[in-house]
């Protein structure tokens, strides 16, 4: 027997836990399969993270129009046990874990992921190849992964040198990538289950979400270089990711309807958000300064007139001009955090913020609400209604005599 809890609503599908009498908790992914006339389909996993990752990948496949209903474990075992027809061509054998990972990246993920994410995946694959080599896919186990962690702690794939060791965050990112590849192997029928499902990640030191006050944002906009100022304005008034803005084209902006179309490569969808008057003005001025703008031309260009790929230098100049270069942890992503913080402080709903930021799961957006609650609590705890200068309360008897 088991006990089910309420389902967690997502953009695509549902996730809900199942707690067994033994104390074990499993997680289920559920969605309606349109290739089977809307049939409700369920698959089960050992962790909530793997369940969300599974549904995210299914959503990407639907958007890329390569969706097929993933087989159940029983169906996979039945296919493996079925007699082989001599006239049926054999599927190409998977050479190794890393070879399969490379094929998944090049054949499936290149078309759906952002350039930065692909770079991280390829860096992780390089480290995995150095350790696993030609290890077969079905020989990747939790034990070998723990050995990989120890190996990875001393290997750094960076152009900046190898003296600095990798952090727990980097090793956890490798695990996330490996788990995604193994989930693909399960979907393809190469594995019965993901061997890394439910494996705890390393503890990461908490990093505060840096955000800017309204005054700091105004100073930053004024101090930004002329070619970079429209980018800053668009980022802070939309909450869009850096990658979503760098790939923005003029055809994605509808000045008449007041909408901006953002390609959310991180979650695999497209959203149309409102065009703020400040953003509209900045973009119209930007277009007037350009000698020629075609519908497929990038909106934001670097100082050299090429499409932005890295905004680090321009960001550093803006921070220095605004007097913010001494604050640690400020990155262009801080503009996204700033938008979310001020949106909620202004009375915006968390569900609306989820749509604006393009989060696949509401739990991600609720992190901002949690941080806002902490500041509210701090403000409440700081209230002091005591009398100043050592004044004391009037005795009860004197108040009664006064007719109070």
Tell me the C-alpha distance between 273 and 343, whole Å.
Answer: 14
Whether 399 sits among the annotated catalytic residues: the reply is no
Q: Are 261 and 271 in contact (CB under 8 A)?
A: yes
**Sheet bearing 259-264, strands edge to edge:** 253-254, 259-264, 269-274
Q: Which of 207, 368, 377, 394 is catalytic?
A: 368
Question: Which helix (H) or strand (E) is 119 found in, with range?
Answer: helix 115-132
Question: Catalytic: 241?
Answer: yes
Q: Tell me phi and psi for residue 315, to 5 degrees.
A: -65, -40
Exactly one of 10, 52, 241, 264 is catalytic; name it.
241
Q: Which of 360, 390, 378 is nearest to 59 (CA)?
A: 360
Q: Which of 180, 229, 242, 359 is catalytic?
A: 359
266 is catalytic: yes
Burial of 37 (0-12, 13-18, 19+ CB in 10 A): exposed
160 is catalytic: no
Annotated catalytic residue, options 24, 336, 376, 393:
336
Active site residue 333: yes
Burial of residue 199 (number of CB atoms within 10 Å: 0-12, 13-18, 19+)? middle
359 carries an active-site annotation: yes
Closest by CA to 252, choosing from 294, 292, 286, 303, is 294
Of 149, 276, 280, 333, catalytic: 333
Do the Cβ atoms of 29 and 15 come closer than 8 Å? yes
Catalytic residues: 241, 266, 333, 336, 359, 368
């Amino acid at each position: 027997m088991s006990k089910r809890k309420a389902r967690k609503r997502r953009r695509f599908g549902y996730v809900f836990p199942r707690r067994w009498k033994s104390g074990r908790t499993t997680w289920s992914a559920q969605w309606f399969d349109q290739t089977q006339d809307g049939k409700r389909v369920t698959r089960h996993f050992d962790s909530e993270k793997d369940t969300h990752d599974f549904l995210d990948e299914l959503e990407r496949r639907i958007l890329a129009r390569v969706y097929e209903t993933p087989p159940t474990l029983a169906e996979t075992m039945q296919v493996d046990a079925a007699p082989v027809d001599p006239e049926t061509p054999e599927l190409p054998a998977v050479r190794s874990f890393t070879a399969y990972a490379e094929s998944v990246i090049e054949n499936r993920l290149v078309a759906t992921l952002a350039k930065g994410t692909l770079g991280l995946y390829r860096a992780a694959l390089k480290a995995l190849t150095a350790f696993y080599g030609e290890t077969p896919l079905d020989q990747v186990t939790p034990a070998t992964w723990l050995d990989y962690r120890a190996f990875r702690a001393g290997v750094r794939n960076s152009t900046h040198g190898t003296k600095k060791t990798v952090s727990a965050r980097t090793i956890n990112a490798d695990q996330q990538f490996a788990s995604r590849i193994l989930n693909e192997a399960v979907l393809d029928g190469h594995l019965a289950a993901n061997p890394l499902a439910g494996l705890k990640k390393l503890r990461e030191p908490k990093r505060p979400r840096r955000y800017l006050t309204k005054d700091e944002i105004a100073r930053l906009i004024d101090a930004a270089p002329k070619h970079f100022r429209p980018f800053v304005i668009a980022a802070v008034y939309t909450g869009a990711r850096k990658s979503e803005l760098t790939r923005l084209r003029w055809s994605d902006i509808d000045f008449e309807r007041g909408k901006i179309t953002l390609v959310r490569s991180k979650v695999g969808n497209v959203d149309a958000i409102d065009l703020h008057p400040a953003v509209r003005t900045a973009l119209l001025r930007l277009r007037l300064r350009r000698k020629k703008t075609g519908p497929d031309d990038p909106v934001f260009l670097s100082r050299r007139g090429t499409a932005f790929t890295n905004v680090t230098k321009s960001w550093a100049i803006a921070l220095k001009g605004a007097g913010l270069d001494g604050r640690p942890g400020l990155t262009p992503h801080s503009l996204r955090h700033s938008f979310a913080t001020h949106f909620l402080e202004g009375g915006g709903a968390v569900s609306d913020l989820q749509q604006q930021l393009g989060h696949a799961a509401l739990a991600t957006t609720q992190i901002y609400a949690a941080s806002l609650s902490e500041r509210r609590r701090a403000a409440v705890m700081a209230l002091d209604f005591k009398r100043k200068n050592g004044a004391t309360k009037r005795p009860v008897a004197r108040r009664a005599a006064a007719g109070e």
